[in-house]
């Protein structure tokens, strides 16, 4: 018989002894037939039987005396089959959940084995029989399996032990125990009543990362001593109720879910829940399941329903009590309901949060598609109209436009009359074509409208491009591919952190606590009011529908407005009249310093095009400081020469790790003076950080450096002080995550296989920690902690036990992440060898080194758009600081290097918590930097590291 799901579950693992070869063979056949278990011979005297949840080991220990005792016990039990309850005659019975108890009953009839049925033979809820070894084995159709304990002191088995069959029934209150437990293990009834139960559902449109959120909620709830329930099919499952739709989830039920797209617990539209009777059913089913709190991952509609459900909860319970659908005890026990929202939506249309789960994954699909389309467009000098999702929100179209340097975008927030948008688009496209651009990309949000609310379709745009401009035009509608696929690293991490915070929020909430929504602002997870967030979100759509577009734009987050202004500025470049008067125009240089990182070219392109739109003259210093000193490699940047830079990897103007003092700081000052630079933007990692410090300290000696200077951090290591985000770190993380996903798939195909993946990052463990969180790695070793022998021993023991318990189970490839500098004595190959030799034969480890693929590839949309945002802010910084520094540029006699206003003109532009801010280099270098180690003194990602370890139940040496 083949089943899609295991027929039985409930017990972690058992070891059963047979004392004769005949009983050993019969026992194998019994468990294969009765419990539908697969089997694999471990040796001539040992067999493993399993179904992915149940793991039963059968061992042969020939002993005629013990076998004779077992034969007598079997005869005694058979004699009393109709007289006594077997459970009171044996020290212990073992019971499993079954999906169909009648199938199990029929198998006993076919095998002609004795059986006891409770409460009756016709409609049994529990069924018991005897295995060939004299053990009482049962199955039950009730919610939880039950393992009975001896009822009389002194009851012993044939070997004089208290039990012949080991049944492990761990409590959910112990995370470390449950990590190795089965997916639907039984718990003691008394403990269950005292435990809080948290439900998680996904609702509305699916979004990549929802499964990662479910995983985080389930495991965090269990780790905090709660029971976790998944409500299948969204509100539809809540209305239908029952164990088919409201399922208790265990630790291993969500194994491997971080990398899954969509939602494995399902989502569906439910019109019935919009009616009070539907919500009444949902309340009853939640109480029947024992759920105290509900976490909803969905869009504004789903979260609106959740908050309405909570506001009605007291009246719903009162009605259920009055109609006797719940008891007084249940009414008292579940009097208050706490609800928390996490936003899963590819449109990123929720107010008060910068990003929603799935949005950046969808954006990644769009940018990849447009990158492909642009290649064929360039071959034929074609125009492409790309239609993307976004009914009331143009976020996807806007950020895709920035990421791919699209010629024009159409979004619902900024409509114009039909004639205006046609003329404006035609003008921009014509200017781009006249300046030598061979491709035209126009992105249309599905909700794009004119100011009279008339929809603007991709066909409308196609007509203008082909008929009015005479361009060979094609339409590409991306559709639901935007929803599909594995989530990008950002969405995995965002969903995980929000899932953890959601559990914390419902546990912190009291009866009067407003329902929270878990949001992210810049780089910080925050709690916002669910009601207010949904209200603001709906206000945008209402403003659009009432043609109040100014209000709609004002209601959008400031970051959305900023992105829109940025797109319009860099898109105009030098094609229009500059926005600044001639006397305010500056010469601004940009240089790349350090290793390549995704987004560097995006920063250069955005800085240059924005400068052009303002009237500034942008210069590039090619090949870093050494290129300047040796070859005077300074060139002004022209728009046509930079076509395609926004989405290209590497560094088009070249980069190296040489600092000004190593190159020749005096020569650098000479060239700065020669070209009369008014400002400098440095893009790079720790060498760029050191370069800014050296130039700022040299101001006393070289007046050429008395200009505003700003650093945009760009390094995959993310080790620059003054920021929690560096350009390139997201691109590198995605490359490493994809590599780990492939390696993990290989590990899953081979039993007992572990991969040790060695990643870059210098002395910073950011990349290893983030990849471990995104991929669900069992451990990560980082330079900040090193690899202690005690921790390594503990990790090996845990891995060995984990592999021992999970024979035959799917999706069980395991990973270890190691930063290259975590241990010089233990490179990846040596670490893998040590783990293999110390594993006791339970697993073997292999080394995998992705190397410089972490530095290569196309930049991610996050790095592209943030590069644009930071580059434009950097130009704004240089403009703002001109007044403060103008008097000090000339005469040495009046220059004060310690003047606070002067010190602040050399700064690092970074993301800290929920803010983007400038911090002067002197403060960072003197007070916040471990210069020798090239890392900040404060590890801003430590919290994420703790979560990564907790979600895989990694035990840490104190």
Residues annotated as part of the active site? 347
Strands (E), 212-337: 227-231, 246-249, 293-298
Q: CA 789 to CA 322: how far, in whole Å?
A: 63
CA 9 to chain centre: 30
> Given CA atoms 649, 817, 824, 727 in this order, what sign does their dihedral have?
positive
Tell me if 627 sits within 8 A of 598, measured CB to CB: no
Token reading at 714? 């760009």
Q: Which helix (H) or strand (E) covers residue 681, if one does? A: strand 679-684
Q: CA 899 to CA 913: how far, in whole Å?
A: 28
Residue ranges of the binding site: 205, 269-270, 299-302, 345-347, 382, 389-391, 446, 474, 480-483, 657, 715-719, 753, 760-762, 846, 852-855, 934
Residue 911's alpha-carbon distances to 491, 866, 919, 921, in angstroms, are 18, 10, 10, 15
The residues, ordered by sequence, that sit 6+ positions from 253 with a Cβ below 8 Å of its Cβ are 183, 184, 218, 230
Residue 239's alpha-carbon distances to 201, 312, 663, 680, 759, in angstroms, are 12, 15, 71, 61, 47
Find the Cα–Cα–Cα–Cα dihedral 641, 642, 648, 652, rounded to 10°: 70
Strand ordering across the sheet containing 906-912? 634-636, 617-621, 587-593, 679-684, 709-713, 906-912, 915-920
Find the Cα–Cα–Cα–Cα dihedral 721, 727, 732, 735, rounded to 10°: 160
Residue ranges of the binding site for Mg(2+): 300
Token reading at 339? 């609800």
Residue ranges of the binding site for beta-D-fructose 2,6-bisphosphate: 657, 715-719, 753, 760-762, 846, 852-855, 934
Would you mind telling me the total number of residues written for the chain in this entry?
958
Q: CA 313 to CA 339: how far, in whole Å?
A: 11
Helix (H, G, I), strand (E, B) or coil at 297: strand
Q: CA 143 to CA 395: how far, in whole Å?
A: 45
Strand ordering across the sheet containing 440-445? 408-410, 440-445, 383-388, 473-477
Bridge partners for 709 per DSSP? 680, 906
Q: CA 61 to CA 943: how far, in whole Å?
A: 50
Bridge partners for 341 per DSSP? 296, 517
Q: Which helix (H) or strand (E) covers residue 805, if one does? A: helix 789-805
Bridge partners for 908 per DSSP? 711, 919
Q: What is the residue whose two structure tokens read 């009291």?
A: 510
Q: Which residue in 260, 233, 261 sits closest to 246, CA to CA?
A: 233
Token reading at 937? 């003194």
Q: CA 241 to CA 231: how far, in whole Å?
A: 9
Q: Which helix (H) or strand (E) covers residue 780, if one does? A: strand 779-781
Tell me if 3 sits within 8 A of 36, measured CB to CB: yes
Tell me if 954 sits within 8 A of 795, measured CB to CB: yes
- DSSP class of residue 468 equals I
The residues, ordered by sequence, that sit 6+ positions from 946 with a Cβ below 8 Å of its Cβ are none
- DSSP class of residue 816 equals E
CA 699 to chain centre: 45
Q: CA 335 to CA 292: how far, in whole Å?
A: 9
Q: CA 806 to CA 818: how far, in whole Å?
A: 24
Q: CA 784 to CA 207: how far, in whole Å?
A: 35
Q: CA 409 to CA 394: how far, in whole Å?
A: 9
């Amino acid at each position: 018989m083949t089943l899609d799901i295991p027929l039985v579950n409930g017990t972690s693992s058992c070891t059963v002894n047979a004392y004769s070869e005949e009983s050993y063979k019969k026992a194998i056949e019994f468990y294969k037939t009765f419990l539908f278990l697969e089997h694999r011979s471990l040796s001539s005297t040992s067999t493993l039987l399993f179904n992915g949840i149940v793991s039963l080991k059968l061992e042969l220990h020939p002993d005629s005396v013990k076998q004779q005792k077992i034969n007598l016990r079997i005869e005694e039990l058979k004699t009393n089959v109709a007289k006594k309850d077997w459970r009171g005659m044996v020290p212990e019975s073992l019971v499993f959940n079954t999906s169909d108890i009648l199938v199990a009953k029929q198998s006993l009839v076919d095998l002609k084995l004795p059986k006891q049925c409770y409460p009756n033979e016709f409609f049994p809820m529990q069924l018991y029989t005897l295995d060939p070894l004299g053990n009482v084995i049962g199955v039950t159709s009730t919610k939880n399996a039950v393992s009975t304990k001896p009822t009389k002191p002194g009851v012993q088995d044939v070997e004089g032990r208290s039990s012949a069959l080991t049944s492990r029934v761990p409590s959910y209150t112990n995370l470390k125990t449950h990590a190795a437990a089965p997916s639907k293990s039984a718990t003691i009834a008394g403990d269950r009543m005292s435990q809080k139960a948290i439900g998680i559902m996904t609702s509305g449109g699916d979004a990549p990362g929802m499964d990662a959120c479910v995983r985080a909620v389930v495991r965090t709830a269990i780790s905090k001593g709660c029971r976790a329930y998944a409500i299948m099919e969204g509100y539809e499952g809540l209305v239908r109720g029952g164990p088919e739709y409201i399922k208790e989830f265990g630790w291993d039920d969500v194994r491997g879910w971080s990398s899954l797209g969509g939602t494995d617990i399902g989502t569906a539209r439910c019109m019935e829940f919009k009616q009070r009777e539907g919500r009444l059913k949902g309340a009853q089913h939640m109480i029947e399941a024992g759920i105290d709190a509900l976490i909803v991952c969905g869009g504004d509609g789903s979260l609106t329903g959740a908050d309405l459900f909570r506001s009605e909860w007291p009246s719903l319970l009162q009605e259920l009590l009055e109609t006797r659908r719940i008891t007084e005890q249940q009414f008292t026990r579940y009097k208050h309901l706490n609800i928390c929202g996490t936003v899963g939506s590819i449109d990123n249309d929720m107010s008060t949060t910068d990003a929603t789960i799935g949005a950046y994954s969808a954006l990644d699909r769009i940018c990849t598609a447009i990158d492909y389309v642009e290649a064929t467009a360039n071959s034929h000098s074609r125009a492409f109209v790309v239609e993307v999702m976004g009914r009331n929100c143009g976020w996807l179209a806007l950020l895709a436009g920035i990421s791919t340097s699209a010629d024009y975008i159409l979004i619902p927030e900024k409509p114009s009359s039909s004639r205006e948008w046609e003329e404006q688009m035609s003008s921009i496209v014509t200017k781009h074509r006249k300046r030598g651009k061979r491709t035209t990309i126009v992105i249309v949000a599905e909700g794009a409208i004119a100011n009279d609310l008339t929809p603007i379709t991709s066909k409308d745009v196609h007509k203008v491009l082909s008929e009015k401009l005479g361009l060979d035009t094609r339409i590409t509608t991306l559709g639901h591919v935007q929803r599909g696929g594995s989530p990008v690293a950002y969405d995995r991490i965002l969903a995980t952190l929000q899932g953890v915070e959601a559990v914390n929020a419902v546990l912190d909430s009291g009866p009067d606590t407003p329902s929270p929504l878990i949001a992210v602002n810049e780089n910080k997870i925050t709690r916002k009011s669910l009601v207010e967030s949904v209200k603001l979100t709906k206000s945008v759509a209402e403003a659009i529908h009432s043609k109040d577009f100014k209000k709609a734009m004002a209601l959008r987050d400031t970051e959305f407005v900023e992105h829109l202004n940025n797109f319009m500025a860099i898109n105009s470049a030098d094609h229009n009249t500059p926005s600044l008067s001639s006397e305010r125009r500056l010469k601004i240089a940009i240089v790349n310093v350090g290793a390549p990182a995704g987004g560097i070219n995006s920063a250069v392109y955005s800085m240059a095009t924005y400068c052009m739109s303002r009237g500034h003259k942008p210069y590039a210093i090619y090949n870093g400081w050494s290129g300047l000193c040796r070859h005077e490699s300074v060139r002004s940047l022209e728009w046509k020469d930079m076509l395609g830079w926004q989405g290209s990897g590497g560094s088009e103007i070249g980069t190296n790790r040489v600092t000004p003092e190593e190159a020749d700081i005096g020569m650098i000052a000479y060239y700065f003076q020669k070209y009369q630079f008014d400002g400098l933007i440095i893009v790079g990692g720790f060498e760029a950080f050191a370069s800014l410090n050296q130039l700022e300290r040299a101001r006393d000696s070289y007046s050429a450096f008395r200009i505003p200077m700003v650093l945009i951090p760009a390094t995959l290591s993310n080790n620059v002080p003054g920021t929690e985000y560096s350009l390139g770190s997201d691109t590198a993380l995605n490359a490493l995550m994809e590599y780990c996903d492939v390696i993990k798939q290989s590990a899953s195909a081979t039993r007992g296989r572990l991969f040790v993946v060695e990643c870059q990052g210098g002395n910073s463990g950011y990349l290893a920690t983030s990849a471990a969180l995104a991929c669900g790695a069992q451990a990560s070793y980082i330079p900040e902690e090193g690899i202690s022998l005690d921790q390594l021993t503990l990790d090996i023991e845990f891995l060995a036990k984990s592999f021992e318990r999970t024979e035959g189970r799917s999706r069980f490839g395991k990973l270890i992440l190691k930063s290259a500098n975590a241990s010089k004595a233990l490179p990846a190959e040596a670490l893998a060898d040590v783990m293999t030799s110390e594993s006791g034969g339970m697993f073997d480890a292999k080394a995998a080194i992705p190397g410089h693929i972490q530095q290569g590839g196309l930049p991610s949309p996050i790095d592209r758009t943030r590069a644009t945002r930071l580059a434009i802010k950097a130009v704004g910084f240089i403009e703002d600081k001109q007044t403060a520094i103008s008097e000090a540029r000339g005469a040495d006699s009046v220059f004060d290097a310690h003047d606070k206003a002067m010190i602040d003109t050399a700064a690092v532009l970074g993301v800290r918590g929920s803010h983007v801010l400038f911090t002067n280099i002197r403060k960072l270098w003197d007070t916040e930097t471990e210069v020798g180690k090239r890392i900040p003194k404060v590890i801003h990602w430590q919290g994420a590291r703790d979560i990564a370890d907790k979600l895989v139940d990694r035990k840490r040496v104190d």
